[in-house]
Amino acid sequence: MSAAADRSGIVSMLSDFGLRDSYVGQMKGVVLTICPEARLVDLTHEVAPQDVTEGAFQLATAWRSFPSGTVHVAVVDPDVGTSRRAIAFRFEGHYFVLPDNGLASFVLGAEEPDRAVLLERPAARLEHVSSTFHGRDVFAPAGAQLARGIALEDLGSTIEPGSLIRLSVPVVASGNGVARGPIVSIDHFGSCRTFIRPDDLPAPTDRVVVRCGRAVIRGIVHTYADVSEGRTLALFGSYGGLEIAVRTGSAAKAWELERGMTVEVTGSDEPR
């Protein structure tokens, strides 16, 4: 099978550039110049400026929604122009093009890419590379080349897959009747999201207590409609992790919850 045969032709794009300026449009223009047949999909461009952790979360919750062979270009790059590495890698049939600053942490989890390269060859960048806009001049052209079927190795030299930088976000800990994990992201609705999974729970969902800050929730429900409006609830979100939310409200505002705060789940003798 040729290299091009395993590509979907889709390029997803994620950044902290916002939509007020032309940055996203410039990146798309570069992709379409190199690969006119590419199909571009915006994951989000509203990641908070320089917020690598939020970018990593958004990328991790979205990439599996795409077919194998999709190229994911993600740019949240506070150290653009420095010695930080610009990389591309293949993982579970998908291709990722991004700065090596932890942005791939939640995509990979405890695993490593199949192959990874440094974006250093002419095919991986425009002729003139700005020191402040690698999204346009490095990551967009590299993503476009992958979408049109170029081999990873044609973009640069191979790097050790295990050398990619990982974020120092605490992992979920479970045992002795307790599961703990940090709030990793707070969405547009004020729902506070963790990576605590159903297998981490110390008891059935109707026999646990979820705590974070001043919020105390008995039991985990299946949907927002399982509680009345204004009530606080815990449920597993569409990405598979435990969330604290308020129906028709904001859990973050109601309980003054912030990213990084610990969510604790314990067993209860009483059902919800």
Domain ranges of the chain: 3-163, 173-267
Residues 13-26: what's their mean pLDDT?
98
- Using pLDDT thresholds of 50, 70 and 90, give the confidence band for residue 114: very high
Residues 24-28: what's their mean pLDDT?
98
Residues 107-135: what's their mean pLDDT?
96
Please tell me the predicted confidence (pLDDT) of residue 1. 43
Please tell me the predicted confidence (pLDDT) of residue 3. 55
Calculated CA dihedral for residues 54, 60, 125, 130, nearest 10 degrees? 0
Residues 263-269: what's their mean pLDDT?
91
Percentage above 90 pLDDT, the chain: 93
Residues 56-71: what's their mean pLDDT?
97
CATH class held by domain 173-267 = mainly beta
CATH class held by domain 3-163 = alpha beta
Please tell me the predicted confidence (pLDDT) of residue 170. 83
Residue with tokens 């003054």: 256
Residue pLDDT, tens place only, 178-225? 999 999 999 999 999 999 999 999 999 999 999 999 999 999 999 999
Order of strands across the sheet with 262-267? 173-175, 178-182, 262-267, 208-212, 215-218
pTM of the predicted protein model:
0.91
* The two structure tokens encoding residue 156: 């640069």
